[in-house]
Amino acid sequence: MLNQDEISLLQKKLPFWEHLTTTQRDALLAGAAPARFSAGQSIHCGETDCIGLLIVKTGTLRTYMTSDEGREITLYRLEGGDICILSASCVLEYIDFDVSIDAESDCELLMLGAASFARLSAENVYVELFSYRLATERFSDVMWAMQQILFMSFDKRLATFLLDESAKTGSNELHLTHEQIARYLGSAREVVSRMLKYFAKEGYITASRGTVTLADRKGLRSLL
Amino acid sequence: MLNQDEISLLQKKLPFWEHLTTTQRDALLAGAAPARFSAGQSIHCGETDCIGLLIVKTGTLRTYMTSDEGREITLYRLEGGDICILSASCVLEYIDFDVSIDAESDCELLMLGAASFARLSAENVYVELFSYRLATERFSDVMWAMQQILFMSFDKRLATFLLDESAKTGSNELHLTHEQIARYLGSAREVVSRMLKYFAKEGYITASRGTVTLADRKGLRSLL
């Protein structure tokens, strides 16, 4: 059972709410439940996995694709207030690819189970429209990532990432390992380490175990 | 004015037709027109360009993204019977990226002008749903391309491409320059030339100016 805050969140986040009949609203609420995932936990993986629509209350989800050899490319991240549709990809007939989704930090979510969401989506055109709009929004995210990965040189990408992280956390000190940075950027740890060494030499950053500190933001920005 | 065949094609290709009022049908037909593009001609380029929905009657459209330095990555191609939605991206609020679209061969199209299509889409939820479904289908195409570009090694990609082209044209003789192949694969001409030289040495193909001939399909397939 959802509490009143959770019901309000659903109503706020689901623009099709006003187009639902009372029966459909009841069905949606009956199929909804709060969920928690711990940092690092896998939420969605592979085609057979279809837990449903996820509304992020707190924490960060990371969506990525994986090669046969296990190489990962981060496509986008979702945070508080965002809605994850690819965890319900089985509901969307026009999606025929698959991605993996992990909890990047501890997460609190509201989950709309795939079965009841699929039923609603088949019954109500506004629910289906909502899903495909959301999928198209993610398409935009993926195109951005593709642009970054394929066209932007790595020094620019790393500088952009460090400045973004610093802006997001409001601190010059970023608690990130080279491995983590590599994963965010869809690159290899060695490539990150090499570039951070170069950045340190230029005086843009200082690096110690598990921490990167921005020392010269202007310098970093000059790379963009 | 559309002729009867063209009107039938519209009705067949637009599943929302049955949900339109008579006035909306008239508006759609009034905003539709046949169009022709020659091989190599640009159809859509940049954010300000929004000609509308395109139904391909004959020929091939190529959709690609371009880096600041002019490097191209082919995302997908559309052929007879396919519908191009990204040429109407201005109609779709949730698309915030842009691509280029060229006629790869001489093309005959049916064009639904952006202005009238936007009006219909705002008025009729089924039209909007159709657009976002189509966009999501293209999202699937792009994810496939991304998988190929980022994860598949180049020998596999080139072999796949040559076998596909041969199947499509029904001939072992492909009239393609290295430059063209590179463009299709989002690679550089030098990379293609090097790999074709290797393929020739292995006896998989023979290459002459502007032509690649498949000599050992089994050998090519063994790379996949």
Number of compact structural domains in chain A: 2
What CATH number should be reported for the domain holding residue B88? 2.60.120.10
Q: In terms of residue numbers, what domain contains B163?
A: 152-222
Question: Do A77 and A89 contact (CB within 8 A), yes or no?
Answer: no
Phi/psi at A88 (5° precision): -120, 30
pLDDT in tens, A36-76: 999 999 999 876 678 999 999 999 999 998 876 677 788 99
Q: Which residue of A94, A128, A157 to mutate against B (max B Cβ within 10 Å)?
A: A94
pLDDT at B202: 84
Statement to judge: residues B109 and B160 lie in one domain: no
- Taking an 8 Å cut-off on Cβ atoms, the answer to whether A142 and B142 are in contact is yes
* pTM of the shown model: 0.77
What CATH number should be reported for the domain holding residue B218? 1.10.10.10
pLDDT in tens, B12-69: 999 999 999 999 999 999 999 999 999 999 999 876 678 999 999 999 999 998 876 6
Q: Which residue of B19, B124, B132 to mutate against A (max A Cβ within 10 Å)?
A: B132
Of A128, A143, A149, the CB nearest to B129: A128
Of A68, A96, A136, the CB nearest to B132: A136
| Closest among A48, A136, A46 to B142, alpha carbons compared | A136
Statement to judge: residues A108 and A158 lie in one domain: no
Pairing of strands B100-103, B42-45: antiparallel
Look-up of token digits 């939605």: B85
Mean confidence (pLDDT) of chain B: 91
Question: Do A56 and A81 contact (CB within 8 A), yes or no?
Answer: yes
Statement to judge: residues A158 and A101 lie in one domain: no
Higher pLDDT, A187 or B74: B74
Q: How far is A68 from chain B (nearest CA, A)?
A: 8
d(CA A43, CA B16): 35
Statement to judge: residues A64 and A88 lie in one domain: yes
ipTM: 0.76
d(CA B19, CA B103): 32
Statement to judge: residues A121 and A159 lie in one domain: no
Tell whether B137 is within 8 A of chain A (Cβ).
yes
Q: Residues of chain B with pLDDT > 70: what percent?
A: 98
Question: Does the pLDDT value for residue A17 go beyond 90?
Answer: yes
Tell whether A18 is within 8 A of chain B (Cβ).
no
Tell whether B135 is within 8 A of chain A (Cβ).
yes
Statement to judge: residues A138 and A107 lie in one domain: yes
d(CA A192, CA A179): 8
Statement to judge: residues B156 and B146 lie in one domain: no
Helix, strand, or coil (residue B208): strand
Q: Residue B136: pLDDT band by 50, 70, 90 thresholds?
A: very high
pLDDT at B185: 80
Question: Does the pLDDT value for residue B84 go beyond 80?
Answer: yes
A83-84: strand order across its sheet: A32-37, A107-113, A52-58, A83-84
Statement to judge: residues B39 and B128 lie in one domain: yes
In A, which residues are within 8 Å of B69 by CB distance? 151
Which range has the top average pLDDT, A37-51, A108-122, A147-161? Answer: A108-122
